[in-house]
Amino acid sequence: MKLKIQCHYPGMSSPSRAHHDDAGLDLCAMDVTEQRRGVFAFDTGVSVAPEDGYYCEVVPRSSIVKSDFFQGNSVGVIDPAYRGRIMVVLRYLGENGDGGLSAARSLVGKRIAQLLVRRLETVLVEQVESLEDTHRGAGGFGSTGD
């Protein structure tokens, strides 16, 4: 599988793995804009083109919590035909007086997320009148006990 990567900032390196057997390619924050107080959009400076049959996901690095940020949408899906820049939305949970703006700016140039390449499985959707019964049925949150 080959992933084509376009870097939009002069001299920036392509996303890479810290270790040869890591699952994700590290994405760095190249720029940041505040969306609203405590919510920031980080430009990774990267656009991608996966091979046919693949798409990408953006997930947070596990160490991002040390900076009092978490990824606002948990997982970002990069559709196979999207060619725009990959943006990572992070929410600040810390307590500095500027709503996290200085903390967000301190992340520029640092690894903030990972890019995963996934196989795309297309499905046919069939609408039915009802679903077959199972042993669990409609039991939802908390239905299996503590």
pLDDT tens digits for range 69-113: 999 888 999 999 999 999 999 999 998 778 899 999 999 999 999
Number of domains in the chain: 1
pLDDT tens digits for range 16-65: 998 999 999 999 999 999 888 899 999 999 999 999 999 999 999 989 88
Q: 């996966």: which residue's tokens? A: 50
**Type of residue numbered 122:** T
The torsion angles phi and psi of 105, rounded to 5 degrees, stand at -60, -30
- Has residue 84 been placed in a domain? yes
Rg (Cα) of the chain, in Å, rounded? 19
pLDDT of residue 146: 65
- Has residue 144 been placed in a domain? no
Q: What is the pTM of this model?
A: 0.86
- Has residue 127 been placed in a domain? no
- Has residue 105 been placed in a domain? yes
* 57 and 118 Cβ atoms separated by less than 8 Å: yes
Distance (Å, whole) CA 109 – CA 70: 17
Q: In which domain, by residue range, is 8 found?
A: 3-119
